[in-house]
Structure 1
Amino acid sequence: MSYTIDQVIKDVDFEDVDRRARQALTDHGFGVLTEIDVKATMKKKLDKDMQAYRILGACNPGMAWEAIGVEPRVGAMLPCNVILREVSEGIEVSAVDPLASMSAIDNDELKQVAGKVRDMLSEVVESI
């Protein structure tokens, strides 16, 4: 089972994909709670160079509320991360597959919520 929902976007620059990703998340009810510039962090902490790589921690409050309501400790697995990274073909967008990440939790109600979030994130990635 894959643990991410992926798409490679060609012939665009990194910041354009970032802008489009944020808009797609907003359009589907998500907000970006956290942002990690992995490239800058690796340079600062390890003096290592790498291609652009950014992690956006996205949250849909309604879905988070529903998930926490059926499994209170699920917050340890939130928010839903979306990564943007430079690859040879363009910019790859990958969103966590909530069904895969929640598979360790034995709760059928939570799996239903995760399925809804997976569908939403699939639409996000597809629309970028």
Structure 2
Amino acid sequence: MTYTIDRMISDAGIDDVDARARKALADHGFGVLTEIDVKATMKKKLDVDMSAYRILGACNPKMAHQAIGIEPRVGAMLPCNVILRETEGGVEVSAVDPVASMQAIANAELTAIAGQVRDMLTKAVAAI
């Protein structure tokens, strides 16, 4: 099983893909709670140069509330991270597959919610 939902975008730069990703996530019920500019962090902390790499922490409040109600410690695995990574072929978008990330928790109700979130994220990634 793969652990990400992926899409390569070759017709836009990182900033445009970032804006498109945020819109697609919002259109599919997700807000971006956190963002990490990994490139800037690596330069600042390690003085290492790398291609653009951003992590967006996306959350659907309704689904998160349901999951936390079923498994209170599941918050340690939230939000759903979406990365935007500059490559030679364009910008790769990869969202965590919630079903794969929840496999460590033996709870059928949680697995069902993770499946719904996966469907929502898959549609959001496809819309970018």
TM-score (norm 1): 0.99
Structure 2 SS opposite 1:104: coil
Distance 2:70 2:18 in 1: 32
What are the equivalent positions in structure 2 for 1:1-128 lying under 5 Å apart? 1-128=1-128
Structure 1 SS opposite 2:66: helix
The Cα RMSD (Å) is: 0.4
Structure 1 residues not aligned, in runs of 5+:
none
Task: Report deviation, 1:110.
Answer: 0.1
Give every structure 1 segment of 4 or more consecutive aligned residues whose post-TM-superposition deviation is greater than 4 Å. Answer: none
Distance 1:6 1:25 in 2: 14
What's the CA shift string for 1:54-98, capped at 9, x where partnerless?
000000000001111111110000000000000111000000000
Amino acid at match of 1:106: A
Amino acid at match of 1:17: V
